[in-house]
Amino acid sequence: MFLIRHSLEIALKYNIEEVQRSSVLIKGQDFSHEHSLATLFRVYNDFLNRLDTSTMDPEIASQLLDFQKQYASLNDQIHIMDAHSRYFRFPVDKLGNPYKIDLKRMTLVDILKLYYYTDPFITFTNNVMEEQGLIVLNNL
């Protein structure tokens, strides 16, 4: 779970950084030291929601909305399970008590399915937005 959470953090940071090099839609704030998936997703999702998708291929636009919804669900579940981004990294709290991760609301299999489904979204969204003519990336 730590690796899934960490890969999402890295992918979001990369997407934000890549967009920041060529767009003013994400302010020039440095997110390299941000570890909150909720914050990173909010920033990136706000960027996506500000794009004019009216010229997109309708099927891709529909998929984008679905991916955003599914990713938000995954992000929420990880946030619930990994409070303060510490539970997956450290087995015990500062007092030596084991963390109690609540898997009652969602099973590990459900989380893995969401990750499997949304990984292409978070990995390729910038490229798809560029192919659709919504952004221009300065690939350095």
The pLDDT of residue 140: 55
What does the pLDDT read at residue 102? Answer: 66
DSSP letters along the chain, please?
-HHHHHHHHHHHHHHHHHHHTT-SSS-S---TT---HHHHHHHHHHHHHHS-GGGS-HHHHHHHHHHHHHHHHHHHHHHHHSGGGTTTT-SB-TTSPBP----SSS-HHHHHHHHHHHHHHHHHHHHHHHHTTS------
User: From first to last of its 140 residues, what are the pLDDT tens digits of the chain?
Assistant: 888 889 999 999 999 999 998 877 887 789 989 988 889 999 999 999 999 999 999 999 999 999 999 999 998 888 878 767 777 878 788 898 887 776 666 678 888 999 999 998 888 999 999 999 999 887 65
Whole-angstrom Cα Rg for the chain? 16
96 contact partners, CB below 8 Å, separation of at least 6: none
- Name the phi and psi angles at 17, rounded to 5: -60, -40
Q: Do the Cβ atoms of 48 and 121 come closer than 8 Å? A: no
